[in-house]
Structure 1
Amino acid sequence: MTHEDDFNTFWKAYPRRVAKGHARTAFDRAIRKTTLETMLQAIADYIRFKPERIDFKHPATWLNGECWEDEWEPPPSRPSTGHGFLDALMRH
């Protein structure tokens, strides 16, 4: 694959596609520090573990922050209170 193919693979995998020019510049720097495979796995983790209340970072921000090195933990499960609409549905 060419460098442009690698960037396009990154771009398609990233969940927020904005500011492509800035992302390409940041990708050019980031790919010297890590591999595309590492980035793709980190993006998958980011999608899976990012708290819902937080927006996805712009791709250039994610790359410049070396966020492929972020460590994610699964969100804590919320204990059932025994009250509420969803709890009632789950009991039936």
Structure 2
Amino acid sequence: MHLSLLELLLIFIGGVLILGIQFYLSTRKNRLMGLLFPFVSLGYSIYMFLKSDFFSDMALSMKAYMFIAQNIPAIILLVIYFICRWNMKKTRES
């Protein structure tokens, strides 16, 4: 299944929009707002990992690779969160 140029553009715009919202939420006073997207991403990857138990022919190593690959967005969002919080702390101390 090939993606059209319009679909790729929508995926790119959606990704940029999510990253922009993550930067915005990570710089708010409420610390928990910046953790919203990483927790949703982590929850989705756990859900998909548990759902993969229904496929008995899938090897455990394949399930582990799938779990790691699905957690890459959560890791990226957490890195953005901690960088923004660190920058806020550094500017407050100055």
Give TM class, smaller chain: under 0.3
Name the TM-score, length of structure 2 as normaliser: 0.23
Larger Rg: 1
Hey, which of these two has a bigger chunk of helix by percent? 2
